[in-house]
A and B are shown apart, each in its own frame.
Chain A
Amino acid sequence: MGRIKLLVFVGIINSMYLKEFDILEVNPERSSQQMRTITCECGILSRCDGSCCLCQGDTTIMASVNGPVEVKSSKECIDQAYIEVTYKPKVGLPGCPEKSLENFISSTCKSVISVNLHPRASFSIVLQEVENDGSLMSCCVNAACMALLNAAVPLNYMMAAVTIIVSEDGELVLDPTEKQQAAAVAYMMFVYSSKDFSLIASSSSGQYSDEQFQRCLLIGAESSKQVFKFYRDTMEKQLISKV
């Protein structure tokens, strides 16, 4: 279903530009410990330095990156680049939750991008929500990373985000849908670095035990490897086809 919706959406932007998607895995009957299918198309916008459209199941985010570009003098840092993240909801104006998401992503990106290489410059990341079916935040982080790779921005390492929830009966569900997420007791989102799969950011809400948290951390680190493998496969396909 998500695949069909996305094809239609890309079709609106440029009807000449339909092409094959990179697909992580197809698992219609997935268990609670499996990620949903990730698909991604890179470089779909022509005016920006890097862009991508990333879907995790039905959750779809379109990301674009510009940088290094000129920075507003009020935001200028003398020794590092300023990172500006803009999140655009599907409908309406961005409110408080959207602003906090922007903040979260910009501070995560600050450790990921080699900000010291471009002092007095800025990187701007724009995230457009296309479809929300749960795990929106982790999809945003992954889309931002893919767009940064597409723009060939100097990075220290890559990042991958994974969402895990604790359902009412205490079961841990990886990469939940909107419905599962709404019924959850606790929600956790972890961002891992590609270097040693260590945690670089986390966000959580609800009630959970210490033991549940530790288990989620481990499950997250395992599944982040899948996301990194997806990044590698996608970039390999893209770069080798260009040579």
Chain B
Amino acid sequence: MPEVGSVVLPGDVITDLKGSESSGKTVLGPGLRIDSQNVQDERNEIVVCKPGILRHRDPNVYWVDSHQKRYIPTKGDSIIGIVTIKSGDNFRVDIGSNELASLSYLAFEGATKRNRPDVKIGDLVYARIVVANKDMEPEIVCIDSMGRSSGLGVIREGGFLLHCSLNLVRKILSKECPLLKLLGSTLPYETAIGMNGRIWIKGRSTVETITIINAIEKSEFSSNEQIKAMVRQTMDHLSGF
């Protein structure tokens, strides 16, 4: 039995998982599966299917933290897509997965059958995934359940789109990571961060945008202390020291 926090590889069998106190059930997250070949004979084996670090959160959640570049659509994720095809009532949007996602033209704030949203091919959209299923094409929307945009929609007026690993996105969005706040304290900027490994950034000028992008790219494998030092150094460079 590999310990929590250690590296696990595909094929490793995990036993002795903690269940919840009331029902005795365990929640398996990404990277863990029940071995399908052993389902018949009662004792279900939990098998690792992705290489990574085994994580546990009390009381009964287990998952594998892996480094991946390819995005697999998940319901509820906010993502950045590129509109590639306009076909009738739907836009087809590239979200980095194996299939294009479909985006209805009615799924925008204030859109009606008469009043179509102004979306062109090549536009970036910040959207939320509502249907993610391995057997169906993903479906995305730019409104919440109340019909408001709540920050979603077409991204206009310039900026830069950065492609990065999924891990970097999760890292900079986590509460512990000081990067975005530190950058924002000296350089005002706008950003949209998609869970599919795409980050849109717009600073006051091109130079500032490039500075922010470089800082984000550098932070992938650094600790919080290193990030703080790096941001300080970048800001000094930018102001001419």
Contacts and interface: CB of A to CB of B under 8 A. Distances in A.
A149 B67 CA distance: 10
Contacts of B47: 156
Given A114-B49, A242-B67, A243-B53, A68 B11 contact: no
B134 A239 contact: no
A36 interface: no
Given A49-B69, A118-B134, A242-B67, A152 B98 contact: no
B9 A154 contact: no
Contacts of A70: 98-99
B11 A121 contact: no
B9 A149 contact: yes
Contact of B49 (A119, A156, A232): A156
A156 B11 CA distance: 6
Nearest to B35: A156
Interface residues of B, number: 25
Interface in A58-101: 66-71
Interface residues of A, number: 36
A239 B49 contact: no
Given A49-B68, A149-B51, A242-B221, A69 B98 contact: yes
Nearest to B10: A155
A152 B97 contact: no
A232 B33 CA distance: 20
A151 B98 contact: no
Nearest to B100: A70
Q: Which of B10, B68, B72 has the most CB of A within 10 A?
A: B10
A152 B9 contact: no
A130 to B, nearest CB: 23
Interface in A133-150: 149
Contacts of A66: 70
Given A155-B10, A155-B11, A242-B221, A67 B49 contact: no
A155 B67 contact: no
A151 B7 contact: no
A152 B51 contact: yes
Given A118-B134, A149-B9, A239 B67 contact: yes
Contacts of A154: 10, 31, 33, 49-50
A109 to B, nearest CB: 13
Interface of B: 7, 9-11, 31, 33, 47, 49-53, 66-70, 72, 97-99, 134-135, 167, 221
25 contacts: A49-B68, A49-B69, A49-B70, A50-B69, A71-B98, A114-B49, A118-B134, A149-B9, A151-B69, A151-B70, A152-B50, A152-B51, A152-B52, A152-B68, A154-B33, A155-B11, A155-B49, A155-B50, A157-B10, A239-B52, A239-B53, A240-B53, A242-B167, A242-B221, A243-B53
Given A149-B10, A239-B67, A243-B53, 11 more contacts: A49-B68, A69-B98, A121-B98, A152-B66, A154-B10, A156-B11, A156-B47, A157-B11, A232-B7, A239-B7, A242-B67
